[in-house]
Amino acid sequence: MAEIITSQQSIDSPENFNYDIENAVLERYQEGARQQQPSLCCPTEYDDTYLKILPQEIIEKDYGCGDPTRYVNPGETVVDLGSGAGKNCYILAQKLGASGKVIGVDFNDVMLDLSRKYQQEIAQRVGYYNTQFVKAKIQDLKLNIESAEAWLKANPIATMEQLSAFDTECDRLRKEEPLITDETVDVVISNCVLNLVHPQDKQQLFQEIYRVLKRGGRAVISDIVCDEDSTPEILNNPELWSGCIAGAFRENNFLKMFEDAGFYGIEILKRDEKPWQIIDGIEFRAMTVRAFKGKEGPCWERKQSVIYKGPWKKVEDDDGHIICRGERMAVCDKTYNILTNANSPYAKEIIPVPPYQEIPLEEATVFNCKSKAIRDPKETKGKGYRVTNLNGDDCCSPGECC
Ligand SMILES: C[S@@+](CC[C@H](N)C(=O)[O-])C[C@H]1O[C@@H](n2cnc3c(N)ncnc32)[C@H](O)[C@@H]1O
């Protein structure tokens, strides 16, 4: 039998668990689909407008802990990780409109049956059909489990060779018929599910979220977080794992997971002041985080600058650029767009300073990405603009601004 875990650090080692996490989660939510489980419900406020047309059963079998649907816009393509009874998907079906689409992902047949049970009826009420529910593990969004199971039915496994053939078929499905392809999704949402994933799969889970998002896309995730590491007693309790407690991220680590996966503009949108539960003095509460994809790529010099309005003396972005309050900071084209585009999480605090004369991308030179560089206003104005005293083309002074 597996050894009992004794510290938070050891939860990274799967062999340290004395129970099967995935099955504990599966069984708990199969039951949750059959019958409402009040102990799994974390009080959450939704916009009532979108609940009016939903069947009572979908409203009641809600095991979420936040409302990521608030941060989604009409026309977007959304994936909901661990869609359960489908409440978040059906709210989104209305918000997204006929031009948008939502794909609910769950690995639990009983939940999938429940979410699909009302699909036609809700589509009729909404006036269009824009929902889909698929079977997959959220940490492996390429593998369509229904296709894998169809193969298994035709090719039952009794030997190692057959097991190996099944693995090969799964790899083929991921490669040739991926369920969710790269860079096709505007928003990935999830409501109280990421904590349920096995620790050894959590890093892959964030990589999968990143993979499916388009450049410029975002993740909006509500989940349970804790303020201190869980005790061995909590970690060894399957009820507490499937009850969204034992697998909760420590709040700072939750944001770090997004950072490590390559996201930028990571922000806590909501953190419940009141804990949902306190166990052994550890507070477990709901938090909603948003994070953007798209900071990688070349840096081109197009003479753009930004001014940070404050109130902090200086700020640093996820690429290490330090932006000083009130200074005209030189940035590359990519950072300029990240900081100033209409949907940017930074836009409210940043004043864009474009050059008087735009430099076409084909003519742009490589930008020397210094962490702190002030751009002379003369440079922004360009040589033709009553400027007689330019010191060459060198862009910025790496001055000690802040
Ligand atoms: C706490 S419930 C949340 C359901 C839904 N998001 C809501 O707000 O009501 C967790 C759901 O995620 C599903 N789930 C848990 N782990 C999963 C995994 N690794 N892959 C896919 N689905 C998973 C469960 O079957 C269950 O339906």
The closest alpha carbon to 367, from 319, 315, 307, 308, belongs to 319
Superfamily of domain 8-142+178-292: Vaccinia Virus protein VP39 (3.40.50.150)
From the alpha carbon of 33, which atom of ligand 1 is closest?
Answer: 27
Q: Is 88 in the pocket of ligand 1 (CB under 6 A)?
A: yes
Q: Is 258 left (phi over 0), alpha (psi -120 to 50) or beta?
A: alpha
Which pLDDT tens digits describe the chain residue by residue (402 residues)?
Answer: 333 344 444 444 444 688 999 999 999 999 999 999 988 878 788 999 999 999 999 999 999 999 999 999 999 999 999 999 999 999 999 999 999 999 999 999 999 999 999 999 999 999 999 999 999 999 999 999 999 999 999 999 999 999 999 999 999 999 999 999 999 999 999 999 999 999 999 999 999 999 999 999 999 999 999 999 999 999 999 999 999 999 999 999 999 999 999 999 999 999 999 999 999 999 999 999 999 999 999 999 999 999 999 999 999 999 999 999 999 999 999 999 999 999 999 999 999 999 998 999 999 999 987 667 899 888 888 765 544 444 444 455 555 567
339/348 Cα distance (integer angstroms)? 9
Rounded to the nearest 10 degrees, the angle between the axes of helix 87-96 and helix 119-126 is: 30
In angstroms, what is the span from residue 111 Cα to ligand 1's centroid?
8
Q: Is 87 in the pocket of ligand 1 (CB under 6 A)?
A: yes
Asked if 259 and 201 count as a contact pair (C-beta separation under 8 A), the reply is no
Q: Count the neighbouring beta carbons within 10 Å of the beta carbon of residue 238.
A: 18
pTM of the model: 0.93
In angstroms, what is the span from residue 140 Cα to ligand 1's centroid?
14
Q: Classify 300-397 by CATH class.
A: alpha beta
Q: Is 67 in the pocket of ligand 1 (CB under 6 A)?
A: no
* Residue owning tokens 């061995």: 232
Q: Is 112 in the pocket of ligand 1 (CB under 6 A)?
A: no
| Cβ-proximal residues to 98 (8 Å cutoff; 6+ apart), any chain | 127, 128, 130
3 state DSSP class of 353: strand
Q: Is 64 in the pocket of ligand 1 (CB under 6 A)?
A: yes
Instruction: Write out the residue limits of the CATH 3.40.5 domain(s) in the chain.
Output: 300-397
Nearest CA to ligand 1 atom 10: 193
